[in-house]
Structure 1
Amino acid sequence: MFSAQDRAAFHQLVQARRDMRHFTPGASVAPEVLRRLLQAAHHAPSVGLMQPWRFVRITDTSLRRRIAELVEAERLKTCEALGERGDAFMQLKVEGIRECAELLVVVLAPDDGTVFGRRTMPKEMALCSVACAIQNLWLAARVENLGMGWVSMFDPVALAHELQLPDTAQPIAILCLGPVPQFYDAPMLELEDWRHGRSLDEMLLTNCWPPSALRG
């Protein structure tokens, strides 16, 4: 059983989680701490106990550089796709690949044939399971006072080639991890006035999707 103090600490942790892009150059993460973080991720729920996550730790400097180049290529394509907001987008810092202490790539493993709980949505349930592992890792990093940032700007085929993944495996996330100068007071996209989060009440429906919400 958890105490009221435990509950308060948990909710404080959830609200303090941030998607970090600024890291302390030259810092490190102790091996035992990294192991704790990955163990927390590995404790995530998964549909049918399939555990479809794999974590690739990037220790090769040249490989890290090439991954950064893949992300930069996609950042430029995203700028083009944003049209009139492209210039503002280019002012945002979207990753900390070169500065972070640890770089991890989370991979969706080849399908192991699990049917339990995912017969009608096999790929979706595998992805949801991997996302749960990433969230566990994020919260574990925050309680260790380490920052983590999820980078999604990359060509998955190109990154899979760099990591020599089997054909049926797919990279899902590049995770920047490590000490940070400070944590953002609010989500960075809000601080930069790029986009603002919506309230829970806007997202909470009862029984069905009401006509008034069809625009959302």
Structure 2
Amino acid sequence: MTQHFDEQERAAVYRVIAERRDMRHFSGGSVDAAVLRRLLEAAHAAPSVGLMQPWRFLRVTDPAVRDGIAGLVADERDRTAEAMDERAAEFLALKVEGIQECAELLVVSLGPGREEHVFGRRTMPHMDLASVACAIQNLWLAARAENLGMGWVSMFEPARLAELLELPPGSEPVAVLCLGPVDRFYDRPMLLQERWTQARPLEELVEER
């Protein structure tokens, strides 16, 4: 098997990266079990510092638990709006999650026992979170390649969500992932479409010394 990618394969990778979107609008439906397995395998193939693999995935299948998660997110949405002062009403008009509409709901957590991993974490203990973020990005790109939408919801209090899900001591939820079919992908990131913010050009974020 060749270790090199041809031009067409490279173009496909860059297209998936460019067309990945943080989706909030879902069309119900379902995700085939084999596809879901492929997505989770893609996430599990992510790099992790010291090969600690700190990610834990919880598939939410109980409608009552889904409702509970939606309630926690709604509570935090209100608190976030209160903290935004003059932009509160504008923020509340945004659709920030698709928990009740998505086909699959996944919760990604930092697993317990992370403090045992010294390799790569002695001076930078947050590298466990960086590793989990890599796994989520892998899943996100794989989902886009499978023509499925995914949205990362971060509006929740981790301790309350851990309690709701009865996670083991030492676990810390970092993402609620909405996954499933969508009618269409956003042409541009939704926050740009809604004129909530403006993206900064690459040139502003690259320096030399």
1:163 to 162, 165, 186: 165
Q: 5+ residue gaps in structure 1?
A: 208-216
Percent identity over paired residues: 62
Q: Please give the secondary structure, in 2, of the residue aligned with 1:9.
A: helix
1:3 corresponds to 2:6: yes
Q: Tell me the equivalent position of 1:120.
A: 123
Q: How does 1:166-181 map to 2 (within 5 A)?
A: 166-181=168-183
How many Å apart are 1:35 and its aligned residue? 0.2
TM-score norm. by structure 1 comes to 0.94
What does the per-residue CA deviation read over 1:95-119, in whole Å, with 9 as the maximum and x for residues that have no partner?
A: 0000000000000001341111221
Aligned to 1:186: 188
Q: Distance in 1 between matches of 2:168 and 2:148?
A: 31
Shift of 1:199: 0.5
Q: Which residue of 2 aligns with 1:214?
A: none
- Equivalent AA in structure 1 for residue 122 of structure 2: R
- Pairing 1:63–2:62 present: no
Matched, 1:102 2:104: yes
| 1:187-207 deviation digits (Å, cap 9, x = unpaired) | 000000001111100000112
Residue aligned with 1:77, SS: helix
Where has structure 1 moved over 6 Å in runs of 4 or more?
none
RMSD: 0.7
1:90 correspondence with 2:87: no
Aligned to 1:154, the other structure's residue is in SS state coil
Q: Aligned-pair distance for 1:21?
A: 0.1
1:121 Cα deviation (Å)? 1.2
- 5+ residue gaps, structure 2, are none
Q: How far did residue 57 of structure 1 move?
A: 0.3
**Equivalent residues, number:** 205
Distance 2:141 2:134 in 1: 11
The residue type paired with residue 8 of structure 2 is: Q
